[in-house]
Amino acid sequence: MEKARRFADHVRHVTQIYENALETLSQEAQPMDAILIHSGTEGIYFGDDRHISFQAFGHFNHWIPVNRPDQMLLFQPGKKPTYFQVVPPDFWYDQTVVQEAWWADQYEIIRLEKPQEVMDHLPNTRRIVFLGENTKFAADMGLPAYLHNEKNLVNYLDYYRGMKTEYEVEELREANRMAVAGHKAAEQAFLNFGSERDIHLAFLNANHMLETDSPYTNIVGLDRHAAILHYQYKQRAKGDQSRVLLIDAGCVSNRYCSDITRTYMRKGGHAVFGELLKGVDVLELKLAEMVKEGMPYRQLHEAAHDGVLDLLLASEIVKGNRDELAENQRISKLFFPHGVGHLLGLQVHDVGGFFKDDHGALAPPPEEHRFLRLNREMKNGMVFTIEPGLYFIPMLLDPERESELGKSLNWSLIDALIPYGGIRIEDNIWLSENGPVNLTR
Ligand code: GLY
Ligand code: MN
Ligand code: MN
């Protein structure tokens, strides 16, 4: 089976990263012999007995596609990794772990009833690193505090999560295929004058999904709501007056996420908004094609700002000298106030966006682009989003109505476009050895 072969290759690759990490860091930082990764502990709302929807720790899911609390993976160089599958006897909840041979065959599997029983199976060394949120559990087992989430190791592992294996790319492709079907259904629901809630449910229904299956809270905004970047509600009001839909929604395949945004305008809407919509789509595709190994991702972000300014000038929302207006991107930031994308993988905003190297040297975003979540040089194997936007956000625009900068803005046109909210087009891109591949289209 092709999937089993891909997964075996993936585990070989991850094993190599872990072996290299222990070897290198044991010399340079401190001796570490083994790594125990804990998937996490199920939380309960304060003062309640209701569980918070659980999401396993990404580094656990890098090995095992099981989204369950208290599962553990033990890594020791030169040994088959051990999966401690904790299945408590419980008549309140179904604790069964669905195990499939394509991934399970890669592990030594030890079934336990309680997480604490793992102590009987740990190697005979004190230098075991614990990776996971519940460091109290680690301390209770006697694992040394100085090796809880050992920083050098976490940096190293985060850095390499950025480059995906063939298995991971296929899962990301599948998460995209599912989400594209959802987006088609959502578009139809919009065209049929559905409410935000109808559109959201149409997206979920296309894949028979529950909300807890989503990689993030769907953003489903009609009209002005499209200008709220992470708009979180879903109104019940019918969309019979609606003109624009912005939907940012994704799916998950074996814990790998897609993150896709589409914007639609109904026929008969403002012609300038229609032009901008086409323009952002063309810009997104152009940016996706620019990506090359070695290119700083920040260059794409700068190019997105140039592209947004060009669209604003072409539509005469902005008037004046292009070079002056381009300075510091003050104009384009009013209409495009977020980063152009981020790494994508086991988390929607995947780890490792700010590293210069695998030793934890940081590459934080520059002050002028502090919302940029990816500031690395692009490397083959990376999967990331490209998501330029152009919005009419009153909170950002209003302070400029009387300002010097505001003199270059066409306020009557802006006022006519504010009810249309905004535009974002977001695809998921894999930088393959043969160049960028769009996993969404
Ligand atoms: N869906 C959140 C984002 O696009 O980053
Ligand atoms: Mn998104
Ligand atoms: Mn995104």
317-329 residue pLDDT tens: 999 999 999 988 8
How close is the Cα of 387 to the center of ligand 1, in Å? 8
Type of residue at 233: Y
Please tell me the distance from the alpha carbon of residue 37 to that of residue 23, in angstroms, as a whole number: 18
pLDDT beyond 90 at 372: yes
Place of tokens 């890669």: 106
Task: Classify burial at 120, counting beta carbons within 10 Å of its beta carbon; exposed 0-12, middle 13-18, buried 19 or more.
Answer: exposed
Which ligand lies nearest to the CA atom of residue 429 in the structure?
3
Which ligand lies nearest to the CA atom of residue 261 in the structure?
2
Instruction: Tell me the mean pLDDT in the region 31-35.
Output: 98
Please tell me the distance from the alpha carbon of residue 213 to that of residue 55, in angstroms, as a whole number: 10
Please tell me the distance from the alpha carbon of residue 79 to that of residue 90, in angstroms, as a whole number: 32
Instruction: Tell me the mean pLDDT in the region 17-41.
Output: 97
Q: Residue-wise over 365-392: b if at least 16 C-beta within 10 A, else e?
A: beeebeebbbbbbbeebbbbbbbbbbbb
Half-sphere CA count of 116, side-chain side, radius 13 A: 6
Question: What is the per-residue pLDDT for 327?
Answer: 86
Please tell me the distance from the alpha carbon of residue 192 to that of residue 186, in angstroms, as a whole number: 10
Type of residue at 230: H
What residue's CA is closest to ligand 1, atom 4?
259
pLDDT beyond 90 at 282: yes
pLDDT band at 155 (very low <50, low <70, confident <90, very high): very high
Please tell me the distance from the alpha carbon of residue 55 to that of residue 347, in angstroms, as a whole number: 10
User: Measuring CA to CA, how many Å separate 33 from each of 23, 72, 116?
Assistant: 9, 17, 20
When the pLDDT of each residue in the chain is averaged and rounded to a whole number, the result is 97
Kindly give the number of the ligand 1 atom that is closest to the alpha carbon of 424. 4
How close is the Cα of 260 to the center of ligand 2, in Å? 5
Please tell me the distance from the alpha carbon of residue 143 to that of residue 359, in angstroms, as a whole number: 24
How close is the Cα of 181 to the center of ligand 3, in Å? 18
pLDDT beyond 90 at 400: yes
The strand pairing partners of 74, in sequence order, are 36, 82
Please tell me the distance from the alpha carbon of residue 164 to that of residue 260, in angstroms, as a whole number: 19
pLDDT beyond 90 at 332: yes
Pocket around ligand 1 at a 6 A CB cut-off: 216, 248, 259, 348, 387, 426
Of 329, 311, 313, the C-alpha closest to 321 is 313
Tens of pLDDT along 109-129? 999 999 999 999 999 999 999
- Site to probe by mutation for ligand 1, drawn from 214, 246, 348 as the one with most ligand atoms within 8 Å of Cβ, is 348
How close is the Cα of 234 to the center of ligand 2, in Å? 16
CA angle 351, 137, 352 (to 5 degrees): 5
Kindly give the number of the ligand 1 atom that is closest to the alpha carbon of 342. 5
Question: What is the per-residue pLDDT for 1?
Answer: 83
Which ligand lies nearest to the CA atom of residue 386 in the structure?
3
Write down the H helix ranges in 207-296: 271-290
Instruction: Tell me the mean pLDDT in the region 231-257.
Output: 97
How close is the Cα of 341 to the center of ligand 2, in Å? 9
Q: For ligand 3, an ion, list residues with CB under 5 A.
A: 259, 385
Instruction: Tell me the mean pLDDT in the region 330-359.
Output: 96
88, 113 Cβ separation under 8 angstroms: yes
Kindly give the number of the ligand 1 atom that is closest to the alpha carbon of 219. 1
Question: What is the per-residue pLDDT for 250?
Answer: 98
Question: What is the per-residue pLDDT for 86?
Answer: 98
How close is the Cα of 372 to the center of ligand 2, in Å? 14
Instruction: Tell me the mean pLDDT in the region 319-342.
Output: 94
Please tell me the distance from the alpha carbon of residue 431 to that of residue 246, in angstroms, as a whole number: 27
Tokens of 402: 């009387």
Lowest mean pLDDT among 5-9, 70-74, 363-367: 363-367
Write down the H helix ranges in 238-347: 271-290, 297-314, 322-326, 330-335
pLDDT beyond 90 at 275: yes
How close is the Cα of 252 to the center of ligand 1, in Å? 14
Tokens of 396: 């950002």
- Site to probe by mutation for ligand 1, drawn from 203, 426, 427, 428 as the one with most ligand atoms within 8 Å of Cβ, is 426
214, 257 Cβ separation under 8 angstroms: no
- Site to probe by mutation for ligand 1, drawn from 176, 259, 343 as the one with most ligand atoms within 8 Å of Cβ, is 259
Which residues have a Cβ under 8 Å from the Cβ of 32 and sit 6 or more positions away? 22, 25, 26, 127, 128, 129, 147, 150, 153
Instruction: Tell me the mean pLDDT in the region 35-57.
Output: 97
Of 157, 99, 96, the C-alpha closest to 83 is 99
Strands of 102-229 (E only): list them.
Answer: 108-112, 128-131, 219-222
Please tell me the distance from the alpha carbon of residue 426 to that of residue 158, in angstroms, as a whole number: 24
- Site to probe by mutation for ligand 1, drawn from 203, 216, 263 as the one with most ligand atoms within 8 Å of Cβ, is 216
350, 342 Cβ separation under 8 angstroms: yes
Which ligand lies nearest to the CA atom of residue 215 in the structure?
1
Instruction: Tell me the mean pLDDT in the region 355-361.
Output: 91
Question: What is the per-residue pLDDT for 148?
Answer: 98
pLDDT band at 84 (very low <50, low <70, confident <90, very high): very high
Q: Given phi > 0 = left and psi -120 to 50 = alpha, else beta, which region is 250? A: beta
